[in-house]
Amino acid sequence: MRGYDATAEFGTDAEAAIAAAAKRYSNWNRWGPDDGIGTVNFIDAGKRAEAARLVRRGESFSLSLPFDENGPQNGWRRRVNPVHTMMSTGQDTAEQLGLPHGLTAADDAVFMPLQCSTQWDGLGHVFDHGIAWNGRNGAEVVTSEGDFATGIERIAAPVIGRGVLLDVGRVLGEDGELPDGFPITSADLAEVIRRQGETSQVGRGDIVLVRTGQLSRVRRGDGWAGYAGGPAPGLSFETAGWLHDTQIAAIATDTWGFEVRPIEFPDSFQPLHQVALPHIGLLVGEMWDLDMLAADCAADGVYEFFLAAQPLPFTRAVGSPVNPVAVK
Same domain, yes or no, for 96 and 224? no
Q: Which ranges constitute the DSSP H helices of 173-328?
A: 186-196, 214-217, 240-245, 271-275, 291-300
d(C-alpha 38, C-alpha 124), whole Å: 11
Average the pLDDT over 300-305 and give the result.
98
Same domain, yes or no, for 130 and 92? no
Q: Tell me which DSSP letter residue 39 carries.
A: G
Q: 216 in a domain, yes or no?
A: yes
| pLDDT value of residue 97 | 80
Same domain, yes or no, for 310 and 164? yes
Same domain, yes or no, for 126 and 209? yes
- How many degrees, rounded to 5, is the angle at CA 241 between CA 131 and CA 252? 80
d(C-alpha 226, C-alpha 47), whole Å: 38
d(C-alpha 14, C-alpha 210), whole Å: 25
Same domain, yes or no, for 273 and 306? yes
Same domain, yes or no, for 194 and 291? yes
pLDDT tens, position by position, 137-158? 999 999 999 999 999 999 999 9
Inform me whether the pLDDT recorded for 10 exceeds 70: yes
Same domain, yes or no, for 314 and 264? yes
pLDDT tens, position by position, 256-271? 999 999 999 988 999 9
d(C-alpha 310, C-alpha 142), whole Å: 22
Same domain, yes or no, for 245 and 124? yes
Instruction: Determine the structural domain holding residue 92 and report its residue range.
Output: 83-111
Strand ranges (DSSP E) for the chain? 60-62, 83-88, 107-111, 119-121, 131-132, 136-137, 142-143, 146-147, 160-167, 183-184, 207-211, 234-235, 250-253, 283-286, 304-308, 319-321, 325-327
d(C-alpha 114, C-alpha 190), whole Å: 33
Q: Tell me which DSSP letter residue 179 carries.
A: P
Q: Tell me which DSSP letter residue 60 carries.
A: E
What is the pLDDT confidence band of residue 40, given thresholds at 50, 70 and 90? Answer: very high
| pLDDT value of residue 93 | 80
Average the pLDDT over 157-168 and give the result.
98
The total number of structural domains that make up the chain: 2
Q: 1 in a domain, yes or no?
A: no
Q: 148 in a domain, yes or no?
A: yes
Q: Domain containing 247 — which CATH number?
A: 3.50.30.50
Q: 240 in a domain, yes or no?
A: yes
| pLDDT value of residue 102 | 87
Same domain, yes or no, for 184 and 323? yes
| pLDDT value of residue 1 | 52
Same domain, yes or no, for 196 and 258? yes
| pLDDT value of residue 2 | 67
> Contact 86/107 with Cβ under 8 angstroms?
yes
- How many degrees, rounded to 5, is the angle at CA 19 between CA 17 and CA 24? 95
Average the pLDDT over 274-291 and give the result.
98
Q: 297 in a domain, yes or no?
A: yes
pLDDT tens, position by position, 11-31? 889 999 999 999 999 999 999
Write the DSSP string, 159-178: -EEEEEEEEHHHHHSBTTBP
Q: 218 in a domain, yes or no?
A: yes
Write the DSSP string, 258-292: SB-BS-SSTT-S-HHHHHIIIII--EEEES---HH
What is the pLDDT confidence band of residue 99, given thresholds at 50, 70 and 90? Answer: confident
On average, the pLDDT of the chain sits at: 95
Same domain, yes or no, for 36 and 94? no
Those residues whose C-beta lies under 8 Å from the C-beta of residue 188, and which sit 6 or more positions away, are 168, 172
Same domain, yes or no, for 160 and 92? no
Q: 43 in a domain, yes or no?
A: yes
Inform me whether the pLDDT recorded for 3 exceeds 80: no
Phi, psi of 183 (to 5 degrees): -85, 115
